[in-house]
Chains A and B, each alone.
Chain A
C-alpha cells in the first residue's frame, strides 16, 4: 500500500515537472519567423506527366508519386475526361481530378494537333512556368525526332522517356535549356551507336 502511494507520488511529481517545463516553453516568445505562411504552400512538385491523343489513348504516362497500376489508368481516364471536354481558347489550367488529389492540384495542359500534353502539379507550381516547360518538351521532341508526330511517340516510348528524364526528375524540373537537353540526348545516342555492333541482325529479330 505504502509502496503504491510512493509510486503514485513520484509519478505526480514527474507530471508536475513536465508541466512546468512545458509552461516555461510556452511562456517564451514565439519564434520571430515565419510570421505568416509563404504565399504558396509547400515545395513545388510535378505529380504526373501524361500524354494522350484526342481519343484518350495514352501515349506516355509518368507518375512521380506511387499510385497502383489501376489508379494510374483511372487517373489517365479521368484527366482525359476533364481536359477533352474543354473548348479551345479557354485557359490552360484547371483544378485536378479527385483521383490525383482534387483542388490541391492543378492540371496544366496544352493541346497540339492530335495530342494532349498534361502536367499534374501541386498548387505551388508556377502555371505559366509549366506551360513553358511543356513547350520546351515539345520543341525538344521536335528536334530529336524531326517534325515529331504521334507515331514517333508510339514507336519510341523509351526515347520519349529518356528525353523527359533529362527535363524532369523525381517530379522536379532538372533542366529547361533545350540545347543542353539535346546535347545530352545526342551523347546518349552516340553511346548507343557505339554499342550497336554487338546486336543481332535485325532480320531474325521478332
Chain B
C-alpha cells in the first residue's frame, strides 16, 4: 500500500492548485492568487471559528502560494494556533508553516516557544519530535535561549524513544552551531559519547554528527569517542553486506554512518593507543581492499556508496599524514579514478589529489600523474572538472615542473571560461614568481598574461611585477626591452601601458643606447597610447614623463610642450590638471640637482609576502594557496592559513600613481598614510584638551604619545601623490548587523568607553574622545581564545549617504591576532554634516580555519559632536521660542526603564553632551539642557527639556533644534537611555 494514497488529499486545495496550473498567463495567475489570498484573509478574520481541517487547508494553500514566490504576510497567528491543537495533523501543518515561513517577530516567537515547551513536556514522542524539528529548523537565538538547557536532558534520558533521541541530538547540534555559548556543557557530554554504542544506527549517526561538532571546541572532553568510533567503524567495515539489513544501501553496509565516523576521526590526531591504532589501520586497509574488489552490483548507487567511504577514508589518511604506505596506496587508487568513465569520480579524484599533493610522502606520487591532469584540463567537457584540474596542477607545481605547468595554464587561459580566468591569472602569476629560475622568464610570463587576459590581470599582479623588477637589477634591462617591444603592438591592453609606462620611466635609460629605442622613440611610443587610456593610466604616464625629463634632458622641451597643452593644463579631471601644472612648474623651476634628487630611481621595496597570494587566498579560501607555503613539508606548520599574511588593503588601495615617484619606501599596495593636514588638526585638538578621563577600557597612553610626536616631515613631493582613497567596499559586501547591534549602540549614547561587544571568541573594547566635529576612537580587539585569529580585518563601512556625512579614517591592524592578545585600531572621525545612522563596523577573521564575520554599529551617534552651551534662563526661553515651528520640536512620553534617580539622570544628560542649565525651569524636578552640534558643514543648536514624573514612572522629553530630523533623532536616542 502506498504511504500516501492519492484520493485523500484536500479537495479545496487540489481545486485551487488546478486553477493556478490552468492559468494561461502570469497575470491570470496573480489574479487568481490575490483572489485566494483575499478569501483566506476573510476566512481568518471572519467571526465564524474555523475548524482545524479548514485551517489546515488554508495554511496549505498559503504554503503553495509562498512556493510560487509570493510574499505571505498573514496566517502566522493561525499557524501558531494550530500548534496547540492536540490533533496530530493540525499540529504538524502548523509546525510546517512556521518552519517554512520563519518570522523573527518576537511576539510570535514567544507563543511558538510556549507551544514547543508544551509539546516537549508532553511525553508523546510524535509531538516531541515535531517540536524538536521546529527548533532545529528555525534555530534562532531566542529558541536557543529557551531550550538549550532542556534538550541535553531529553537526549540522555533513559526513557527517551530512539526517534526522540535522534532528533534531540541534531536539534542540540543546530543550536550549538547557531549560538555555542547557550549550550551548557556538563555531565551529559560523557553520556553522549556512549550513544556511539547505541543499538539503533540512526541514533548513532545523529550522535556522531553532534560529537563531531562539539569536540572541535573541547577535544579533550570527547577524547573517549576515538576508540568507540574505531570499534564501531571496524564492525561495519568488516560486516558482510547483509548484516546491517535496513542500513545496507545497495550492498554497502551503512555507508552514511561510515562516512560520519571517518569524519569524526579527522577531528583528532592518530590514536595513541597502539591497539586502537592497529585496528583503525586495519579498517582503512579493508576499505582500500574492498574498493578493488569487483562490484556487487552494476548500479551506480552501489559504486557511489562504496566510493563515498573510500574518499572519506583517503581524507583521513591524508589527515593523519603519517602512514606512507597508505598514502601511496591512496594516491594510486585516486590515479585510477583520474581516467574513470564516471565524471563524478574524476572530479573527486582531482579534488582529493590536491590535498595529497601537500604531503611529503605522496607529493612525488601525485606528480607522476601530471600528463593525465594536463590532458583533463584540455579535454574535459565539464568546467567544474577543468577547474579542479587547474587546482591540482597548481598544487603539484614545484621547481621541476613549473615551466611546463605555467605554459599549459597560459595555453588554457586563452580558452578558459570567463568565470575562472581571474583565478587562473593569479595562479600563474604566483607560480611564475615562486618558481622563477631566471627572472626574464618571469617577466615574459607576466607580460604574456597581460597580453592573453589583460582584463583579468588585477592590480596586485602588475604591482607585483613592478616590485620585482625594481628590486632586481639583473632583470631591469631585459624588462625595459621587453615592454618596449610589447608596446609596439598596434593594440595593447591598458595594463600593458601601465607596466610599460612605469618600467620605462624607471629604467628606460637602460635601453636608450639603442637607436631603435632612443628616448624620443620611447616617449612617442608611450604618448601614442596616452589618449586611449583611462584617467588613472594617464596620470601614471604624466609621472613617467616627468621622470623622462630627469632621465633624458633632451626630451625636456617636447614633454614641457605636452604638459603645457591646453588639454593637460585645463583638463577637466582635477588630478590630471594638478599633475600637469605641478610637473610643468617643477621641470622649469627646479635645478638639475633637485630634479635628480626628487625624481630618483625607486628604492627597492621591502621584501614581503606577495599580495597576489593574499588575494588568491581571499578568493578561494584556505587550501587554494597551499602549494605555495614553504612549510608544507613540515607537519607542524601545515596550517595553510597560517604563516605571514598581511591584511590585504581592501579599504584603501591607493591609486597606482601614488608611489610612482618613489619617495615613499612603502610598496604600492600599502595604504597611503592619512593626509598630514588632518593629522595635525587632530593633534592640536587633543593636545590642548584636558587629560584623558580614566576609562574602563585598556589605556592607549602609548598611542597618544606617539600620535603627539610631530609628524614625520613629509617629502616635498607628497603634494603630487594621489591621496584619493579608493572607494570603500559597499555595504553589500558585509553582512547585516547582529541583532543586538542596536542595543549595544544604545549603551554608548551617553558614554565613550566600555566593552562594545563580547562573545566566546572576541572582545571589542572601545574608548573615544570627541572635540567639536572631530573625534578619535580606539577599538581594542581581544582574542579570548588560545588560538591565533587569521586574516583579521576590521573595516568601517558607511551605508547609504553616510559617506557624505561622516568621514572615518581607519588605521590598518595586523592580519593576525595571537591567542590571548589584543590589538588596537585607531579611527579618526570627522563629522561633515548631521547624520542619523551610525557607520557599521565589520570584523572578519578566520578562527581555526572557519571564517567568522560580525557586523556591529560603531558607537558614533550625532550627539557625540555636541558642544555644551551655558546660557541664562532668559536666553534659553528666547531661543526656545525662536524654535517654535512644529517640525523643529520632537517630543516623546515614555515609561521609565530604570529607577528614576536625579543624579543618574544628570550624569546621563551630561554624558549625552549637552550642558545642564540650573534655575531655568520653574519646576526644580525638571532638567533643561542646551548645546550645539558641530559639523563641518553646519552647526545645529539644540535645546532640551526632560520632565520626570515619579508617580507615574514616566518621562516627557522635548527637543528643539534648528533641524527637524535632528530633533527627532536626538529625541529617540535620548529616550532610550532612561
B622: which A residues are within 8 A, CB to CB?
A: 37, 41
- Taking a contact as CB atoms under 8 Å apart, the answer to whether A128 and B307 are in contact is yes
A39: which B residues are within 8 A, CB to CB?
A: 266, 315-316, 318-319, 355
**Of B636-644, B869-877, B931-939, the one touching chain A:** B636-644
- Taking a contact as CB atoms under 8 Å apart, the answer to whether A103 and B308 are in contact is no
Q: Given A91, A127, A165, which contacts B346 in the complex, CB threshold below 8 Å?
A: A91
Decide if B621 is an interface residue (CB 8 Å cutoff): yes
Decide if A90 is an interface residue (CB 8 Å cutoff): yes
How near does chain A come to B652, taking the closest CB pair, in angstroms?
24
State in angstroms the CA–CA spacing of A158 and B9 once bound together: 10
A161: which B residues are within 8 A, CB to CB?
A: 96, 100
- Residues A176 and B205 in contact in the complex (CB < 8 Å), given A69-B71, A91-B347, A158-B93: yes
- Taking a contact as CB atoms under 8 Å apart, the answer to whether B133 and A155 are in contact is no
State in angstroms the CA–CA spacing of A58 and B64 once bound together: 10
Q: Which A127-157 residues sit within 8 Å CB-CB of chain B?
A: 127-129, 131-133, 135-136, 143-146, 152, 154-157
Q: Given B15, B209, B212, B849, which contacts A41 in the complex, CB threshold below 8 Å?
A: B849
Q: Given B53, B167, B174, B212, which contacts A171 in the complex, CB threshold below 8 Å?
A: B174
- Taking a contact as CB atoms under 8 Å apart, the answer to whether A179 and B246 are in contact is yes
- Taking a contact as CB atoms under 8 Å apart, the answer to whether B202 and A174 are in contact is yes
State in angstroms the CA–CA spacing of A173 and B210 once bound together: 11
State in angstroms the CA–CA spacing of A180 and B246 once bound together: 8
Q: Which B169-215 residues sit within 8 Å CB-CB of chain A?
A: 170-171, 173-174, 177, 201-202, 205-206, 209, 212-213
State in angstroms the CA–CA spacing of A34 and B249 once bound together: 34
State in angstroms the CA–CA spacing of A44 and B15 once bound together: 41
- Taking a contact as CB atoms under 8 Å apart, the answer to whether A132 and B4 are in contact is no
State in angstroms the CA–CA spacing of A36 and B347 once bound together: 25
- Residues A7 and B87 in contact in the complex (CB < 8 Å), given A143-B2, A175-B166, A198-B53: no
Interface string of B236-254 (1 = CB under 8 A from A): 0000000000110100000
B54: which A residues are within 8 A, CB to CB?
A: 200
State in angstroms the CA–CA spacing of A42 and B93 once bound together: 33
- Taking a contact as CB atoms under 8 Å apart, the answer to whether B126 and A191 are in contact is yes
State in angstroms the CA–CA spacing of A7 and B694 once bound together: 8
B246: which A residues are within 8 A, CB to CB?
A: 177-180
State in angstroms the CA–CA spacing of A199 and B248 once bound together: 41
- Taking a contact as CB atoms under 8 Å apart, the answer to whether A37 and B848 are in contact is yes
- Residues A92 and B344 in contact in the complex (CB < 8 Å), given A62-B100, A144-B4, A174-B202: yes
- Taking a contact as CB atoms under 8 Å apart, the answer to whether A184 and B247 are in contact is no
- Taking a contact as CB atoms under 8 Å apart, the answer to whether B212 and A43 are in contact is yes
State in angstroms the CA–CA spacing of A91 and B387 once bound together: 12
A178: which B residues are within 8 A, CB to CB?
A: 246
State in angstroms the CA–CA spacing of A186 and B102 once bound together: 27
Q: Given B212, B348, B385, which contacts A127 in the complex, CB threshold below 8 Å?
A: B348
B72: which A residues are within 8 A, CB to CB?
A: 69
- Taking a contact as CB atoms under 8 Å apart, the answer to whether A93 and B347 are in contact is yes
Decide if A20 is an interface residue (CB 8 Å cutoff): no
- Taking a contact as CB atoms under 8 Å apart, the answer to whether A103 and B620 are in contact is yes
B311: which A residues are within 8 A, CB to CB?
A: 126-128
How near does chain A come to B813, taking the closest CB pair, in angstroms?
17
- Taking a contact as CB atoms under 8 Å apart, the answer to whether B301 and A182 are in contact is no
- Taking a contact as CB atoms under 8 Å apart, the answer to whether B3 and A169 are in contact is no
Q: Given A22, A91, A92, A123, which contacts B820 in the complex, CB threshold below 8 Å?
A: A22
- Taking a contact as CB atoms under 8 Å apart, the answer to whether A184 and B67 are in contact is no
How near does chain A come to B692, taking the closest CB pair, in angstroms?
9
A66: which B residues are within 8 A, CB to CB?
A: 102, 104, 140
B894: which A residues are within 8 A, CB to CB?
A: none
Decide if A114 is an interface residue (CB 8 Å cutoff): no
Interface string of A87-122 (1 = CB under 8 A from B): 101111111000000011000000000000000000
State in angstroms the CA–CA spacing of A75 and B849 once bound together: 26
A64: which B residues are within 8 A, CB to CB?
A: 137, 139
Interface string of B804-845 (1 = CB under 8 A from A): 000000000000001111100000000000000000000000
Interface string of B605-648 (1 = CB under 8 A from A): 00000000000000011100000000000011011110000000
A12: which B residues are within 8 A, CB to CB?
A: 699, 701
Closest residue to A108 on the B side, CB-wise? B344
A26: which B residues are within 8 A, CB to CB?
A: 818-821
State in angstroms the CA–CA spacing of A150 and B307 once bound together: 30
A206: which B residues are within 8 A, CB to CB?
A: 11-12, 15
- Taking a contact as CB atoms under 8 Å apart, the answer to whether B170 and A172 are in contact is yes
Decide if A40 is an interface residue (CB 8 Å cutoff): yes
Q: Given A18, A37, A184, which contacts B698 in the complex, CB threshold below 8 Å?
A: A18
- Taking a contact as CB atoms under 8 Å apart, the answer to whether A185 and B247 are in contact is no
Decide if B267 is an interface residue (CB 8 Å cutoff): yes
- Residues A132 and B256 in contact in the complex (CB < 8 Å), given A26-B821, A170-B170: yes
How near does chain A come to B204, taking the closest CB pair, in angstroms?
12
Decide if B691 is an interface residue (CB 8 Å cutoff): yes
Q: Given A35, A152, A191, which contacts B88 in the complex, CB threshold below 8 Å?
A: A191
- Taking a contact as CB atoms under 8 Å apart, the answer to whether A169 and B256 are in contact is no
State in angstroms the CA–CA spacing of A171 and B171 once bound together: 10
State in angstroms the CA–CA spacing of A43 and B202 once bound together: 18
Decide if B343 is an interface residue (CB 8 Å cutoff): yes
- Taking a contact as CB atoms under 8 Å apart, the answer to whether B635 and A35 are in contact is yes
Q: Which A57-87 residues sit within 8 Å CB-CB of chain B?
A: 58-62, 64, 66, 69, 73, 76, 86-87
- Taking a contact as CB atoms under 8 Å apart, the answer to whether A37 and B639 are in contact is yes
How near does chain B come to A115, taking the closest CB pair, in angstroms?
14
State in angstroms the CA–CA spacing of A172 and B205 once bound together: 10
- Taking a contact as CB atoms under 8 Å apart, the answer to whether B256 and A173 are in contact is yes
Q: Given A45, A124, A175, A191, which contacts B89 in the complex, CB threshold below 8 Å?
A: A191
Decide if A54 is an interface residue (CB 8 Å cutoff): no
Closest residue to B851 on the A side, CB-wise? A104
How near does chain B come to A47, taking the closest CB pair, in angstroms?
12
Decide if B269 is an interface residue (CB 8 Å cutoff): yes
- Taking a contact as CB atoms under 8 Å apart, the answer to whether A35 and B636 are in contact is yes
- Taking a contact as CB atoms under 8 Å apart, the answer to whether B136 and A156 are in contact is no
- Taking a contact as CB atoms under 8 Å apart, the answer to whether A205 and B312 are in contact is no
B11: which A residues are within 8 A, CB to CB?
A: 202, 205-206
How near does chain B come to A87, taking the closest CB pair, in angstroms?
7
How near does chain A come to B549, taking the closest CB pair, in angstroms?
48
State in angstroms the CA–CA spacing of A35 and B691 once bound together: 47
A169: which B residues are within 8 A, CB to CB?
A: 132-133, 136-137, 167, 170-171, 174
Q: Which B34-91 residues sit within 8 Å CB-CB of chain A?
A: 51-54, 57, 60, 63-64, 66-69, 71-72, 87-89
How near does chain A come to B706, taking the closest CB pair, in angstroms?
15
A198: which B residues are within 8 A, CB to CB?
A: 51-53
A31: which B residues are within 8 A, CB to CB?
A: 786
A41: which B residues are within 8 A, CB to CB?
A: 622, 849-850
How near does chain B come to A112, taking the closest CB pair, in angstroms?
13
How near does chain B come to A26, taking the closest CB pair, in angstroms?
6
How near does chain A come to B571, taking the closest CB pair, in angstroms?
38
How near does chain A come to B815, taking the closest CB pair, in angstroms?
17
B950: which A residues are within 8 A, CB to CB?
A: none
Decide if B8 is an interface residue (CB 8 Å cutoff): yes
- Residues A94 and B384 in contact in the complex (CB < 8 Å), given A22-B821, A195-B87: yes
A162: which B residues are within 8 A, CB to CB?
A: 92, 96
Pairs A-B, 5 closest by C-beta atoms:
A170-B136, A128-B308, A170-B174, A90-B382, A37-B849
Known: A165-B133, A172-B174, A200-B53. 16 other contacts (CB 8 A): A39-B355, A41-B849, A66-B102, A69-B72, A87-B382, A91-B346, A93-B384, A104-B621, A128-B308, A129-B308, A169-B133, A170-B139, A178-B246, A182-B3, A198-B53, A206-B15
User: 21 A-B pairs, CB-CB below 8 angstroms?
Assistant: A26-B818, A37-B622, A40-B315, A41-B849, A43-B212, A61-B67, A64-B139, A69-B72, A103-B621, A127-B344, A129-B259, A129-B308, A145-B2, A161-B100, A170-B137, A172-B173, A177-B246, A180-B202, A188-B126, A195-B88, A200-B54
A interface residue numbers (CB < 8 A to B): 4, 7-8, 11-12, 15, 18, 22, 25-26, 30-31, 33-45, 58-62, 64, 66, 69, 73, 76, 86-87, 89-95, 103-104, 123-124, 126-129, 131-133, 135-136, 143-146, 152, 154-159, 161-162, 165, 169-180, 182, 184-189, 191-192, 195-196, 198-200, 202, 205-206
